Amino acid sequence: MNVAVGIGCRKNCPAGVIETLVRQALNRVPHAAPLGLFTLVDKQGEAGIAEAAGLMGLELTYLAREALRARAEDVQTYSPSAESLFGVPSVAEAAALAGAGPASVLIVPRIAAGGATCAIAGAAP
């Protein structure tokens, strides 16, 4: 199953924290084939996200705020922090949904640890 992994994090979150969280999320989806890591364009300065993607051999895609807003109705875990900082309903869940495509569905709702968040969405067949 093709999946998109959405990532959010606090400023300067270490790559190891992000990588561990992504692996935990992927372990919940047997036979997952990750399309890559997806996050908000505002996270381009976060070295931990880029480093984690490299460690895992996954492509990293930065998405516009509008792409995340477009999936607001499909988000399960609303984030007041993401809304106030970036004007998006969530980062991890909305990025996963946007990255997986228009008919995608949330498979792993947001999980969080150590200042990072992760969610997984499945692409439509």
Q: What is the pLDDT of residues 44-91, one digit of tens each?
A: 999 999 999 999 999 999 999 999 999 999 999 999 999 999 999 999
For residue 41, being part of any structural domain is answered with yes
Residue 30 backbone phi and psi in degrees, to 5 = -60, 140
Give the pLDDT of residue 56.
Answer: 96
Per-residue pLDDT, averaged over 102-106, amounts to 94
For residue 15, being part of any structural domain is answered with yes
The CATH number covering residue 71 comes to 3.30.420.180
For residue 105, being part of any structural domain is answered with no
For residue 117, being part of any structural domain is answered with yes
For residue 89, being part of any structural domain is answered with yes
pLDDT at 106 > cutoff 80: yes
Per-residue pLDDT, averaged over 8-29, amounts to 97
Give the pLDDT of residue 109.
Answer: 97
- From CA 13, how far away is CA 47, in angstroms rounded? 8
Give the pLDDT of residue 124.
Answer: 80
Note down the domain range covering 53.
2-99+112-122
For residue 106, being part of any structural domain is answered with no
With 0-12 / 13-18 / 19 or more C-beta atoms within 10 angstroms meaning exposed / middle / buried, residue 44 is: exposed
For residue 55, being part of any structural domain is answered with yes
Closest of 25, 19, 17, 47 to residue 93, by C-alpha: 25
Count of domains for the chain? 1
- The per-residue pLDDT of the chain, averaged, comes to 96
**Distances in Å between the alpha carbon of 86 and those of 2, 11, 37?**
28, 14, 19
**Distances in Å between the alpha carbon of 84 and those of 1, 80, 91, 99?**
34, 6, 12, 22
For residue 95, being part of any structural domain is answered with yes
| Confidence (pTM) | 0.96
